[in-house]
Structure 1
Amino acid sequence: MLGERLARKLRDRGHDVVSVVADHRLVGRSDDQILAHAAGSGRAVVTTNIRDFVLLDGQYRDRGASHAGLVLVSTKTFPQDGSFQGAMLTALDKLRSQEDVFTGGQVRFLER
């Protein structure tokens, strides 16, 4: 959910990512539709929309449904300035290297 440019750079680094804004099936979809699509694809959602996705996670849990995970990006930790993209690449590389720690259904804040 953070743009195709960042998604392309992540793919170049070996990440399996899809950008919501570049996928015609996802453009204009609601948050719950995006999470459902990600869950069906076995992909976690990386988002700065913390409030809405935490609520959706609660709804999933309440009905016994699961998703592939949520990676929440705080704009306080990752200010959207000139350092944003580089910081995100580094942090997501680090998270990917810890795959055994990040399992489906987990919700966690991305760390610098």
Structure 2
Amino acid sequence: MTTRLILDEHYSAAIALALHGLGHDVVAAVASDELRGASDPELYRHATQTGRRIVTENIKDFRPLLLTATAADTPAAPLLLVPPRRFPRGHGDRNAIIVAAIDAWLRRPDADPRPIEDWLI
């Protein structure tokens, strides 16, 4: 089984392309006509329906969506939460740093069964 990811809108399509080049199934919301500008609930629904884990630093909006779905015992999209302090915007080559971190996370032997709410470190 391969973990499939969708990058929240604050991540560039270049990150998804770089990860795809490393053999990962990653799409960027900003590169999709359907998802560009979508609300957080819409992106969450799409990720749930397509079996993708959302990569986001928008913890305050996506975490409640996850908690609501799990509390209702309905299908839920897992999250890969990115701490903004660890990966600050405007810091050098942020894209390369995030690509390396996500690639390392995806290459972990336990990436698929990771918790429904996991953190990129």
Q: Same fold (TM over 0.5)?
A: yes
Q: Could you say if the C-alpha distance between residues 96 and 55 of structure 1 is closer, same or farther in structure 2, counting changes exceeding 3 Å?
A: same
Q: 1:31-110, aligned counterparts within 5 Å? A: 31-80=40-89, 81-103=91-113, 106-110=116-120
- Using a 3 Å threshold, how does the CA distance of structure 1 residues 16 and 101 change in structure 2: closer, same or farther? closer
3-state SS, counterpart of residue 77 of structure 1: coil
Aligned-pair distance for 1:10? 0.9
- Comparing 8-17 and 97-106, the one that deviates more: 97-106
Q: Judging changes above 3 Å, is the alpha-carbon distance between structure 1 residues 87 and 103 closer, same or farther for their aligned structure 2 residues?
A: same
Residue 27 of structure 1: how far off its partner (Å): 1.5
SS in 2 for 1:18: strand
Instruction: Identify, as 1 or 2, the structure richer in strand.
Output: 2
- Give distance in 2, aligned partners of 1:54 and 1:87: 24
* 1:12 is aligned to 2:21: yes
Q: Encode CA deviations 1:28-85: one digit per residue, 9 max, x unaligned.
A: 2111110111111111000110110111111111211132410011110111211311
Q: Which runs of 4+ in 1 moved over 6 A?
A: none
- In structure 2, the CA distance between the partners of 1:100 and 1:68, relative to structure 1 (3 Å rule), is farther
Give, in whole Å, the separation in 1 of the partners of 2:52 and 2:84: 22
TM-score scaled to structure 2, two decimals? 0.83
- TM-score of the superposed pair, with normalisation by structure 1: 0.89
* Identity %, equivalent residues: 32
